[in-house]
Amino acid sequence: MSADCGSVYHHFPGGRAQLIDEAVALAGDFVAGLIETAAEEIHDPLARALRDRPEPQQ
């Protein structure tokens, strides 16, 4: 089955699961950026710990 260029499946050949995975990853990166920015602006030890945490293993 071939999807035309205007189809969502053309951009996400893995289908709905790929679309959801990429949307969740993008949202996670966005929220992580918000947390990092907030942690840089305040002097809270917990916020610094969240900012400086090791990256999760995939």
pTM: 0.58
Please tell me the predicted confidence (pLDDT) of residue 21: 96
Q: What is the DSSP string of 10-27?
A: HH-TTTHHHHHHHHHHHH
The residue with tokens 């999807």 is 3
Q: What is the pLDDT of residues 1-58, one digit of tens each?
A: 555 667 888 889 999 999 999 999 999 999 999 988 887 777 778 877 877 888 888 7
Please tell me the predicted confidence (pLDDT) of residue 5: 66
